[in-house]
Amino acid sequence: MGAEFNWWLLIVGLVGGGALTWLVLADSTRRDHEIGDEETSAEAAWIARALDAPGIDADVAEDVLRAHRRYLGFPPPDVLVAPAELADLEARGASAESPDLAAPELPQPPESPA
């Protein structure tokens, strides 16, 4: 009877240990792509109330959140540039403008003669 009980303890211990490991290692934080437009507006209102700073209202916070979501959709930058160096780079002809946020237009196929 002792051997069967030992096997049962081993199985319960492995299952319990696996479950505990999963709970500890599981990443339950939310990602930006999981937040919908309606929740973005609610989050912006919460940020405006939480910061309680003049000049920060829900519309400004929502614009910042939407810009951040667009930024996360871009590919990672090749090089990070300090803001103090931007003027020097622009003088040398580098563009410091943000990338085009609109989808590129696809060329239209030529019309065939009827």
Domain boundaries, the chain: 32-74
**Residue in this structure with the two tokens 């490991």, named with its chain if needed:** 21
Joined together, the tokens standing for residue 78 give 């090749």
Q: What is the pLDDT of residue 104?
A: 47
pLDDT (0 to 100) of residue 113: 62
Integer Cα distance of 39 and 35 in angstroms: 6
* pLDDT tens, the chain, 114 aa long: 577 888 889 999 999 999 998 888 887 777 777 778 888 888 888 888 888 778 788 888 888 888 888 877 777 777 777 777 777 877 887 765 655 554 445 455 566 565
Q: Are 34 and 13 in contact (CB under 8 A)?
A: no
> Measured between alpha carbons, how far is 31 from 26 in angstroms, rounded to an integer?
14
pLDDT attached to residue 110 = 61
